[in-house]
Structure 1
Amino acid sequence: MGLYRSDSSPQLWVRKQSRILDVALTRLRLGHTRLTAYLHRLGLSPDPYYPWCRTVEETIEHFLLDCPCFHSHRVVLRDRLVALGVSTFDLPTLLAAVGVHFLHQAAVLRLTCVFLKKCGQLPRL
């Protein structure tokens, strides 16, 4: 473990309350999901396109930041982030709370988890 991390303290993203959410966040961070763009790269999906947006590849970026299917959930997430004083809305912020004040990092990850649950896509991640 010393090769990868210099300390063994628990990380913010390890919640220990919901294994499903912990696994989903870890897969999203690593890029190893069941989204079709990744499955297509592995030869496990005939095409990389999103099932609902047939002209757009189903990438992590599209799922979290752009897909119109989850627009209403994304608006709620963005509003709650702004209420915390977080103005950036990108993958590093949503998945690891990068650039967020340490007092708000856990809240950002919790809000991301709420978004993931509300979207109903956890089995696909």
Structure 2
Amino acid sequence: MKKIYTIFFVLLLISCSVKETEKESGVQHQDSTTSPAVKPKHSGNQLLFTKEDIKGIWTSGESENASISIEEDSILFVDTFEYLKYEFRNDTLIYIEEGVPFFKTRVIKADKDSLVTSNEDGIRRLWRFKD
């Protein structure tokens, strides 16, 4: 009977050891890979996005018309036909009126088809406008 208890105890120790090793290798594997959805576009102090990434005609999808047109140094709000100057630094779009910055929004995503920004009001998703 003593042999059965000893064998059972040894098997228990071995199984715990194997599970602990599997957990450690799983954690190491997760740390070394990045999810494609969260893959960073930069490393260190490099620019996240450029003006070329955000320039274009964009729509929010709320109407059949374009919402904004981001040009070289200004943004046209199509509904009000109002132009505002802007600056673009790293990942931040800064609206300027009469030489004074008054609104900032962070660019989360900018690619050929979509532009996603975030500020204190929430997240705004825009799509490249196609006629």
Band of TM-score, shorter chain: under 0.3
Q: Which has the larger radius of gyration?
A: 2
State TM-score, norm by structure 2: 0.22
Question: Going by fraction, where is strand more abundant, 1 or 2?
Answer: 2
